[in-house]
Amino acid sequence: MAYKRLERILIQLDTIDSTNNYAAKLLKSTKVSEGTVIMADWQHKGRGQRTNVWTAEPGKNLTFSVIFYPELSVDRSFYLNIMASLAIRKALERYGLAAEIKWPNDILIREKKICGILIDNQLSGKKIKSAVVGIGLNVNQFDFDVSATSLLLETQQEQHLKQLLDEVYLQLDFYYDLLRSSNYQLLKKHYYHHLYRLNHLSEFEDKDGRFSGTIQGINENGLLSVLRDGTKKSYDIQEIKYC
Ligand code: BTN
C-alpha cells in the first residue's frame, strides 16, 4: 500500500518538564514538520490525564510526544486516541505481548498498565489545527506499584529503547494513514477488537456509586457507552471509574 510517510525528525532531550509541554511551545514558536518526535530521558513534571503526574525512572522508559496536523473536526478528536492506542498495541504485539486497550488512554497487559497516552489538541474553530500525542511506555523499569508493568517485567528481557521507538513510530505511521484517509469504520473495528471489557458484564463506579454494566463501545465523540439495567448511558472520562 502506498501512502505518505510521516517525516521522522527526532528531538532528543536529556531532561525536560514534559515532552508535551515542550512540543506545545515549539508549535507556538516555529514551523514543525508533521511526525516530529520529542523524546526525553527524563521528565521532571511528566503529565498524566487530568491532574495526574506521570513518573518514570530516568533513562529506562519511553517518554515522547509526536506532532500531527490531522485535519480532523473536534467532534472526531477521539480518533487520535484510537490511532495511538492501536499503534502501541500493535508494537507490543511485535514484542510478543498481547495488550488490551482500556478506554480512554491506557494500554494494559494482564490487567496492568504498561502505557499511558495524553493528547493535547490545539484548535482553530471546530478543527484540530495540531495535535501533540504524548506516550509514556514502561520499558526497562523493574519497580512499580501493583497495577503497572513494563516490557522488562513481561518479557524478562531488557529492551533497546530506540528500536522500540522505531516500532511504535512505524505503527503510528500506519494507523495515522488510516485516519488521514478517513477510514473511521476500520479504525473503530480494530479498536473494538482490542477494547478491554467490551461486551463483558463488569463493575464500574459513577457519581451515584458502584454498578454493574457492559461496555458496548464508544460513540462518535469518544464517550464510553455502557449498558446498565437495560439502558444505554454515555460517559466521559471524569464520569466513570472501572472497579
Ligand atoms: C496517563 O496515563 O495518564 C497519560 C500519561 C502520558 C504520559 C506521557 S509521557 C510523554 C508525554 N509527556 C507528558 O508530560 N505526558 C505524556
To test the ligand 1 pocket, which listed residue (20, 42, 238) has its Cβ within 8 A of the most ligand atoms?
20
Q: Is the Cβ atom of 18 under 6 angstroms away from ligand 1?
A: yes
The amino acid present at 201, given as its one-letter code, is L
Cβ of residue 136 lying under 6 Å from some atom of ligand 1: yes
Residue 212 cell numbers, joined: 454493574
* Residue whose C-alpha is closest to residue 105's, from 84, 74, 122: 84
- Identity of the amino acid at 226: V
pLDDT for the residue numbered 211: 97
Q: How far away, in angstroms, is 5 Cα from ligand 1 center? A: 25
The H helix count followed by the E strand count for the chain is 5, 13
pLDDT in tens, 29-64: 999 999 999 999 999 999 999 889 999 999 999 999
Q: pLDDT tens digits for 177-202?
A: 999 999 999 999 999 999 999 999 99
Task: State mean pLDDT over 153-179.
Answer: 97
For residue 135, report the distance from its CA to the centre of ligand 1, in Å. Answer: 5
DSSP E strands, 84-230: 100-102, 106-109, 112-124, 127-137, 201-206, 209-218, 224-228
pLDDT tens digits, one per residue of 82-99: 999 999 999 999 999 999
Q: Are 23 and 132 in contact (CB under 8 A)?
A: yes
Query: Which atom of ligand 1 is found nearest the CA of 106?
Result: 2
Binding site membership of 49 for ligand 1 (Cβ less than 6 Å): yes
